[in-house]
Amino acid sequence: QAQLVESGGGLVQAGGSLRLSCAASGIIFSISTMGWYRQAPGKQRELVATITIFGRPIYADSGKGRFTISRDNAKNTVYLQMNSLKPEDTAVYYCNAYVNDQDCWGQGTQVTVSS
């Protein structure tokens, strides 16, 4: 069974940058769309960005112009470069991927942006 493991979260000041990584491991035959979601305290989980196997990205309005999603298919890894971070970006960020046609989620990584 495949697993997704995130890394790269942490505490950063407003205006700063962070790069999240998510690597898929285990028995993997195929990975299609990969993406990032986030959930702030008291709020529902929301889309941040997704990227197809061909590298086509889709961004939520909240991250357009500030976040960049990318992937390395050889490493089964997806990245999220976050620039110009704002306090409202504070949330647990979850990696998502369709691995072997199954919807998989990581355990999440905390991103905290201080004002």
CB-based contact 113:86 (threshold 8 Å): yes
- What one-character-per-residue DSSP string does 68-109 give? EEEEEGGGTEEEEEE-S--GGG-EEEEEEEEETTEEEE---E
pLDDT recorded at residue 72: 97
> What amino acid occupies position 47?
L
Q: How far apart are CA 101 and CA 45, in angstroms?
A: 22
Convert the pLDDT of each residue in 28-69 to its tens digit. Answer: 999 999 999 999 999 999 999 999 999 999 999 999 999 999
Q: How far apart are CA 113 and CA 4, in angstroms?
A: 24
pLDDT recorded at residue 1: 82
Convert the pLDDT of each residue in 8-28 to its tens digit. Answer: 999 999 999 999 999 999 999
Convert the pLDDT of each residue in 68-89 to its tens digit. Answer: 999 999 999 999 999 999 999 9
Q: How confident is the model at residue 7 (pLDDT cuts 50, 70, 90)?
A: very high
**Residue 42: CB atoms within 10 Å:** 5
pLDDT recorded at residue 32: 96
Pairing between β-strand 10-13 and β-strand 109-114 as defined by DSSP bridges: parallel
